[in-house]
Structure 1
């Protein structure tokens, strides 16, 4: 009798397949959960620059362009227009204050000055005649008072004698009244004349004061009118060196037109052009320096021009020590301006890496390691050599300071 043979459920082949599947699942899970998925790139150590994180003295500085300019410059502007009649001194000449540089001719101004002077002289003469008339009137009143006093002095003794004689019935009443009437008349006349003199004196004093002030103003106006002619003569305002554009005889000049400048000799300053982003940080009193002829020359900001043009503003810097003897106007210099005082800080060298990371991360090399791992950091202020470390680095750390462009944002750089 045949016997039914039952098929085995767990065959060796099946067990093998299940085992392989479990192993594959475990391997994939391990890779997903525990394996290192960081991207890396091998780089020749000789092709990168490495910098050390150190503690040191730090001072925030910026580098800007500057130009040597005269410390004092006086511009030559035409106050009155005209035609160039004579050119006495040319550009480059050494001038002294008051030297005539050029003269202009303007017939209209000359005629205008003559007319104004004639009018002013006429007004001045009229004022002086008025003052003379008032003084003569005052003198006439004083003369009248003197005459009245003289008459009173003559009549008073006569009046007193006749009064006594009349009281003694030695003269007639008519004779006494005649003398009395004349005496009293002169007393009343003196009273009225003196009262008129007092009023006239007060009025004359006030009017004379006004006349004198008017005359003074007219004399000043006369001087101002006279200076209109002087303005046609261009003179050196200070001692120095003359600089003028190309000017020719017969050339027309407009009022306000700049005809040149005079720069003070031997006295210079530096005018800096500074990026507008530093406007709030720049103030008078900040120190700066530049190197010329292998020597460092200290400067100090003395004046700021806050008007921004083309993204920059200007500032004047004065020399703190002796000015170089061979320095000339127009020399371009590279200025190092200190924005803060020196203090101790954690520092990392400057490098091309900042352009790739904006100071937010860096490749940090572990101690005795051949790997540089990407790490979040935070950098702050800067100077010519260092960035100030705010967070993410410790003294003794090393970072790659050369450009990160070839690394393509890899997580680990292996240094060979």
Structure 2
């Protein structure tokens, strides 16, 4: 094979592709286009966030964190459970009427005492001296009043004697006047003598009338004065009796019969006036004190029946007193046993009771739950048919007991509702239930 060598001409240049290249001018986006693109991206992001973000009126809740209950038809037993405390039916407190030093203890705490039985002896020298001084003063005043009564009696007797003497003088003057009057008319008695007789008669008559008026006035005043003195004497005697009673109060006595408790004073101890030293409980008679939720304040009435189970037996009781003062969301009621009391119950012991508020009635029921505390029975979360969410619905609930709440409006049998606490959900209208 032959190789043909080609001669390069002197004027020839090396062959390159530079003659084929073209310069392309770069075009940049304008500021308006960039702003429009950025705005579109922000708008799309906001729409995506609004679509996928949870609503402010809804919240996702784990299905295992809520309690789902069914609405059913049944019989509503109108009762409330009570936790009652045993307390004596009658309690009488013992106070130190007068202060003093404890000299002697006559009984011990827990003893059964009779009415009026001495339980302790106090001493109070100041009280004893003041009582003696008061007694002396009263007796002196009474003696003074008796002296005044004696003086009044003597005055009354003197007045009576003066009236009697005046009546005697008057009778003599009258008889003399009656004898001389016919004789003077016939001239057997001188005119002067008869005039003197007539003057004596008239004077004795006026003197007797004046004495009788004076006696009547004195008698009226003396009667009033004697009544006042007698009233004052009675008042003083009463004051003296009170002073003696205060002195007698240094001996503490049982005001009623029963069991003495809380009696912890010691010999040598100083007690202040009015200080409580113990109490006496009625033996064998007890009552129950129970706290009731303030929701039932308008429904609990006197004489309502209650039942208690104790030692395998059922006992009946009734409401005898209602204390309307509400403390810590409760008010107090007293329950008194009807018939025999349980044996061997102790003061302070607690018992379970059921207070009946009304007769059993057919009703639509929803299980009682903590949701009622947040809603007040005005609304409830109802589970949708697919079970994936619960929607807030206005309802009207009525009576409730420890197990069920009566449904008046807003729910149908078979519907599911949330009965667990609504803490943190009260401002929501929908709850999404996640598995």
Please say whether Structure 1 and Structure 2 have the same fold, judged by a TM-score greater than 0.5.
yes
| 2:150 paired with 1:150 | no
| 2:148 paired with 1:133 | no
8 A contact 2:380–2:417 mirrored in 1: no
Q: Which moved more, 1:346-355 or 1:382-391?
A: 346-355
* Structure 2 residue aligned with 1:15: none
Q: How does 1:2-401 map to 2 (within 5 A)?
A: 53-59=72-78, 61-173=79-191, 175-276=193-294, 278-339=296-357, 342-350=360-368, 360-361=379-380, 374=390, 376=392, 378=395, 379-397=397-415
* Structure 1 residue aligned with 2:19: none
* Structure 1 residue aligned with 2:7: none
8 A contact 1:53–1:398 mirrored in 2: no
- Structure 1 position 346, deviation (Å): 0.9
Q: TM-score, normalised by structure 2?
A: 0.73
Deviation readout 1:145-195 (Å, 9 max, x if unpaired): 122222322332233223333333334455445544433332121011011
Q: Which moved more, 1:150-159 or 1:81-90?
A: 150-159
- Structure 1 position 304, deviation (Å): 2.7
CA distance in 2 between partners of 1:261 and 1:404 (Å): 48
Structure 1 unaligned spans of 5+: 1-31, 33-37
Q: Which moved more, 1:283-292 or 1:142-151?
A: 283-292
DSSP-derived class of the 2:267 partner: coil
CA distance in 2 between partners of 1:114 and 1:235 (Å): 23
Question: Structure 1 pair 56/164, CA: closer, same or farther in 2 (3 Å)?
Answer: same
Deviation readout 1:296-330 (Å, 9 max, x if unpaired): 33333222333444554432222233222322221
CA distance in 2 between partners of 1:284 and 1:400 (Å): 36
CA distance in 2 between partners of 1:247 and 1:87 (Å): 8
Question: Structure 1 pair 397/294, CA: closer, same or farther in 2 (3 Å)?
Answer: farther
- Structure 1 position 283, deviation (Å): 4.3
DSSP-derived class of the 1:261 partner: strand
CA distance in 2 between partners of 1:282 and 1:254 (Å): 42
8 A contact 1:289–1:336 mirrored in 2: yes
Q: Which moved more, 1:155-164 or 1:223-232?
A: 155-164
CA distance in 1 between partners of 2:406 and 2:251 (Å): 60
Q: Which moved more, 1:68-77 or 1:212-221?
A: 212-221
In the comparison of the two structures, how many residue pairs are matched? Answer: 368
- Greater Cα radius of gyration, structure 1 or 2: 2
CA distance in 2 between partners of 1:79 and 1:94 (Å): 22
Q: TM-score, normalised by structure 1?
A: 0.76
Deviation readout 1:258-302 (Å, 9 max, x if unpaired): 110111112211112344555455443444333222333333322
- Structure 1 position 343, deviation (Å): 3.6
DSSP-derived class of the 1:269 partner: strand
Instruction: Tell me the C-alpha RMSD between the 2 structures.
Output: 3.6
CA distance in 2 between partners of 1:110 and 1:281 (Å): 57
- Structure 1 position 52, deviation (Å): 5.9
CA distance in 2 between partners of 1:410 and 1:136 (Å): 107
CA distance in 2 between partners of 1:390 and 1:240 (Å): 52
* Structure 2 residue aligned with 1:6: none
8 A contact 1:55–1:395 mirrored in 2: no
Q: Which moved more, 1:291-300 or 1:348-357?
A: 348-357
Structure 2 unaligned spans of 5+: 1-50, 52-58, 424-429
- Structure 1 position 250, deviation (Å): 0.8
8 A contact 1:361–1:374 mirrored in 2: no
CA distance in 1 between partners of 2:73 and 2:383 (Å): 14
